[in-house]
Structures are given as C-alpha cells and as structure tokens.
A and B are shown apart, each in its own frame.
Chain A
C-alpha cells in the first residue's frame, strides 16, 4: 500500500513571494505518477501539476514547479510570485502506473493562505 504525508497543515505567504509545500510518500512501486491538486474554498479540486516517476526532469507549469527526489521519495511544490487566487488547500497525490484502475492516494493536505 502507498502512503502520502504532508507535514505542513497550514502555511502562509505574502503576495508575490515564493512558497514551498512539502510532500513525502512511501511505495514499493517503481513506475508511478505524482500530482499536486488545488482545492479552493468551496470549489472543486483541480490539477496543478503532475510528474512521471521515470522522468528525471522536474515538471513546471508557469509559476508552479516541483522538486522530485525519487530516492528520497520526496515531491515538493514551489509556487513563485504567489497570488491571492493561490489561496487554497493543496493535496499531494500518488498514482500507481497500471492498466487497470488508477486510483489516487492523497496526503492530508496543506492549507495555504496568500496574504496581501
């Protein structure tokens, strides 16, 4: 079984600054995917960024980038130039590579507050 741990229940950052959210996971799988999802208050969850475990290059999506350390089983999210709209719960998630069901295993979440 896989587990995902987010050790920071809450974080805050000033608008325009940079913040890093931490995530560690435990698995015996070699092929898998990692995701960061954003859940704004009272709104639905959306995908922020994804990483394939076989790729050494860290994924980037505009202001969002990850630091993927496979050996350390670490997958942190960096948000640059933070905006008020980044205020949300952020969930790290693991997906085993499989031709069958691709269920997600989520961490407990980090509540991020961007302050003006």
Chain B
C-alpha cells in the first residue's frame, strides 16, 4: 500500500445528477477526512471518520452531501442533485490515531465539474 487513493480522478456531470466518490486510505489508518478545495483556495474540512463512525461534520456539508465508511476501511462521498457551486476538488486524507506526529496523508483528489 503506497498511499491514499481516490476514484475517479475526474468527474464531469450535469447539474441535478448524483455523483459518488471513493477514497481508500492507507491500510492501517483508522481516521479518514474529507476536504473540499475550490480553485485558488485552501482545502476546507467537510467531515471526519474514526473507524466506521462519522464523528464530525462541517456546516459546509449540506443535506445533499452524505459520507459513509461502512467497514472502517474505504469511504464514499455522495453528492445528490449536484449544483454548479459543487464544482471543486474533493480531497481525502487519512491518519493513524495516536501517532505522535498527527500527520494527515492526502490522496490525489477527485476533480468534480458540474455543467
């Protein structure tokens, strides 16, 4: 396992469609984070899992967004009824609880374009 992977890398969808992204963290990492990064900006926190439990959600995560991590391994982020404002890079990161350096390892991201 060489790092965090995300699929797909790019997604173009029409407004109103649903999309789902997948994140596979580093295998022994029990914490998983989703961030959103719009063009020219820094990433913004969306939600966080410890194992399979979703422990925190940002106010940015509207009712159209849902995230799961059913077995405490991979995670999915679904956006329903996409809007043009959802166009962004969606980043996933993982970390290991208790590791002293608190480092989060990032995936390559999924770039979403809503037309």
- Residues of A that sit less than 8 Å from B by CB: 4, 6, 33, 37, 43-47, 50, 91, 93, 95, 100-109
Contacts and interface: CB of A to CB of B under 8 A. Distances in A.
Interface of B: 3-4, 31, 33, 35, 40-45, 48, 50, 55-56, 91, 95, 101-104, 106-109
Contacts of B56: 100-101, 103
A103 B43 contact: no
A33 B43 CA distance: 17
7 interchain residue pairs of minimum CB distance: A106-B42, A45-B106, A101-B48, A103-B45, A44-B108, A101-B56, A91-B42
B106 A50 contact: no
Given A47-B103, A109-B40, A104 B109 contact: no
Contacts, number: 56
Contacts of A95: 102
20 contacts: A37-B106, A44-B3, A44-B4, A44-B106, A44-B107, A45-B43, A50-B103, A91-B42, A95-B102, A100-B55, A101-B55, A101-B56, A102-B102, A103-B45, A103-B48, A104-B43, A104-B45, A105-B45, A107-B42, A108-B40
Contacts of B109: 44
Given A37-B106, A101-B31, A109-B40, 18 more contacts: A6-B42, A43-B108, A44-B3, A44-B4, A44-B107, A44-B109, A47-B104, A50-B102, A91-B43, A93-B42, A95-B102, A101-B33, A101-B55, A102-B102, A103-B48, A103-B56, A104-B43, A106-B43
